[in-house]
Structure 1
């Protein structure tokens, strides 16, 4: 791919000490992100979050499956007409919001409170 077609087409070379490079490598590994992404997030005043362990991803998979099941129940109940569909749908939406909140807390980078911005 030609560089003029890329969104990021300005290369920057940075010189780091051994300890600075080790710290950047440690932080990139800790977050599971490439070093360039860690640097870009910091430039935009975001603090990358540490990558959660496997238990988090298993919990999210289970939450997603339960939310999908609730949604399917709501669709079926609406078709058959024997369950409080609005209530079930509200619970499904609430469950998906909970899932999104968990992702936000554990995965998405948060706004930094650095004073030098």
Structure 2
């Protein structure tokens, strides 16, 4: 999206510090945070390192499941339908965790 309209406004020192603090907690620039808020989304704060450790483990397990699926399909040894169902369930769980911790949500603010 090309941004061609410039808006300039004034903040108090406290407001400016609050905007800076919130942008830092969400790992967004102040402008990106502002644009999300204007569009009605409430960004999530950056999760702690435990979240990223869990996501790496989920990703590794998902990759292993995928590799097992490919190998099992090649040799015809495992119940492919069951293995594929479990792999899909695992990837869905991983996506749900990402959505819960990382993706901004629509805000319930009434003025939007």
TM-score with structure 1 setting the length:
0.92
Secondary structure at the counterpart of residue 110 of structure 2: coil
CA-based RMSD: 1.0
Cα distance in 1, alignment partners of residues 32 and 45 from structure 2: 13
Query: Are 2:38 and 1:65 aligned?
Result: no
1:83-113, Cα deviation, whole Å (9 max, x unpaired): 0011101111110010000000000000100
Partner of 1:75: 70
Query: Are 2:14 and 1:19 aligned?
Result: yes
Give 5+ residue unaligned stretches, structure 1.
1-5
Partner of 1:7: 2
Cα distance in 1, alignment partners of residues 7 and 110 from structure 2: 25
Question: Offset at 1:115?
Answer: 1.0
Partner of 2:35: 40
Cα distance in 1, alignment partners of residues 21 and 28 from structure 2: 11
Give 5+ residue unaligned stretches, structure 2.
none
More contact order relative to length (CA 8 Å, sep ≥ 6)? 2
Runs of at least 4 residues of structure 1 off by over 6 A?
A: none
Secondary structure at the counterpart of residue 8 of structure 1: coil
Partner of 1:110: 105
